[in-house]
């Protein structure tokens, strides 16, 4: 599995998991692990954001990636 | 005394409130038409060509989905304070209906994962504000929520 480097990639991974779960390519246990991991990452991101705001700096988080955003895939758009 | 702009054969002398603007003539003067007569004429035309007009309108609405309430939105932009005050007054007079509306919106926001709902969930218990969260983070959270719901439904 390729390494996830930013939020966009994680988002695509989560959406792919939803797609796979719908098509029964993966089981629920695997999907729940991914969802729990993503939740942990989100809470970590929130903490980092909170910290940077408390200090008074603009958040510089690598995982936050390019904020302009990579557009969603056509197949994934319908899932959200 | 109000100025008489036009004299109608049926309705007599008409002031500004009782006329609608028509074309500008060759001398460069604005001409007017009787409002009541035009209303009757338009009504007759509509009744005669109802199907044709409705189908034409439907075609136009399909081609221009943003057309709906365009004039309302335009008026709101011109004087937002007036419309806000109006809605606040209405809410005070109809508290029950306001509550119903809020309830309906809340259920819709939770089931369809509105951006505002996702942001509120992320912000809860932190010192973050809605503006601090980027769209990307919201999208990610939205995806995770969807996955969680799917897992919950499957088990």
Q: Are A7 and B132 in contact (CB under 8 A)?
A: no
Residue A75 lies in a domain: no
What pLDDT was estimated at residue A70? 47
What pLDDT was estimated at residue A66? 54
Work out the minimum CA distance from A17 to partner chain B, whole angstroms: 8
Residue contact B144–A69, C-beta within 8 A:
no
What pLDDT was estimated at residue A39? 92
Phi-psi region of B113 (alpha: psi -120 to 50; beta: other; left: phi over 0): left
Residue A20 lies in a domain: yes
What pLDDT was estimated at residue A69? 43
Length of chain B: 155
Query: How many domains, in total, are found in chain A?
Result: 1
Work out the minimum CA distance from A3 to partner chain B, whole angstroms: 17
Residue B56 lies in a domain: yes
In tens, the pLDDT along B105-135 reads 999 999 999 999 999 999 998 888 888 888 8
One domain, residues B83 and B49: no
Residue A35 lies in a domain: yes
Question: Higher pLDDT residue, A80 or B69?
Answer: B69
Q: Are B48 and B54 in contact (CB under 8 A)?
A: no
Q: Does B127 touch chain A (CB under 8 A)?
A: yes
What pLDDT was estimated at residue B20? 93
Average pLDDT over residues A24-53: 89
Residue B143 lies in a domain: yes
For residue B42, give both structure tokens: 């338009």
Residue A71 lies in a domain: no
One domain, residues B105 and B117: no
Residue to mutate among B114, B115, B127, B134, with most A CBs inside 10 A, is B134
Q: Tell me the count of A-B CB pairs closer than 8 A.
A: 79
Work out the minimum CA distance from B113 to partner chain A, whole angstroms: 8
Residue B146 lies in a domain: yes
One domain, residues B101 and B61: no
In tens, the pLDDT along B46-60 reads 999 999 999 999 999
One domain, residues B153 and B119: yes
Domain holding B85, by residue range, is 69-109
Residue A40 lies in a domain: yes
Residue A69 lies in a domain: no
Cα–Cα distance, A7 to A1 (Å, whole number)? 16
Domain holding A29, by residue range, is 7-61
Q: Are B22 and B32 in contact (CB under 8 A)?
A: yes
Residue contact A53–B132, C-beta within 8 A:
yes
Asked which of B65, B83, B100 is the last residue of a domain, the reply is B65
Average pLDDT over residues B24-35: 92
Residue B1 lies in a domain: no
Residue A78 lies in a domain: no
In tens, the pLDDT along A40-80 reads 999 998 888 888 888 877 777 777 765 544 455 666 555 65
In tens, the pLDDT along B90-109 reads 999 999 999 999 999 999 99
Work out the minimum CA distance from A15 to partner chain B, whole angstroms: 6
**Is the entire prediction scored with pTM above 0.80?**
no
Whole-angstrom distance between the N-terminal and C-terminal Cα of chain A?
Answer: 24
Helix (H, G, I), strand (E, B) or coil at B22: strand
One domain, residues B139 and B104: no
Query: How many domains, in total, are found in chain B?
Result: 3
Residue contact A35–B147, C-beta within 8 A:
yes
Residue B102 lies in a domain: yes
On the question of pLDDT at B15 being above 60, the answer is yes
What pLDDT was estimated at residue B2? 81
One domain, residues B60 and B79: no
Question: Do the interacting molecules here have an ipTM over 0.85?
Answer: no
Residue A28 lies in a domain: yes
């Amino acid at each position: 599995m390729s390494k996830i480097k930013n939020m966009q990639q994680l988002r695509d991974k989560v959406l792919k998991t939803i797609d796979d779960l719908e098509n029964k390519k993966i089981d629920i246990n695997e999907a729940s692990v991914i969802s729990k991991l993503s939740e942990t990452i989100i809470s970590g991101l929130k903490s980092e954001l909170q910290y940077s705001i408390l200090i008074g700096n603009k958040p510089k988080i690598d995982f936050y990636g390019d904020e302009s955003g990579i557009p969603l895939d056509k197949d994934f758009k319908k899932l959200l | 005394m109000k100025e008489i702009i036009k004299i109608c054969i049926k309705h007599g002398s008409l002031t500004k409130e009782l006329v609608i603007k028509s074309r500008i003539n060759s001398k460069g003067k604005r001409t007017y038409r009787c409002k009541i007569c035009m209303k009757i004429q338009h009504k007759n035309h509509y009744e005669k060509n109802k199907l044709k007009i409705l189908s034409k309108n439907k075609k136009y609405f399909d081609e221009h989905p943003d057309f709906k309430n365009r004039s309302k939105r335009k008026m709101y932009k011109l004087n937002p304070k007036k419309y806000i005050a109006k809605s606040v007054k209405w809410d005070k007079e109809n508290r029950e209906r306001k509550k119903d509306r809020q309830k309906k919106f809340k259920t819709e926001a939770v089931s369809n994962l509105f951006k505002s709902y996702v942001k509120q969930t992320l912000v809860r218990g932190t010192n973050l504000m809605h503006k601090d969260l980027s769209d990307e983070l919201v999208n990610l959270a939205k995806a995770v929520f969807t996955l969680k719901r799917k897992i919950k439904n499957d088990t």
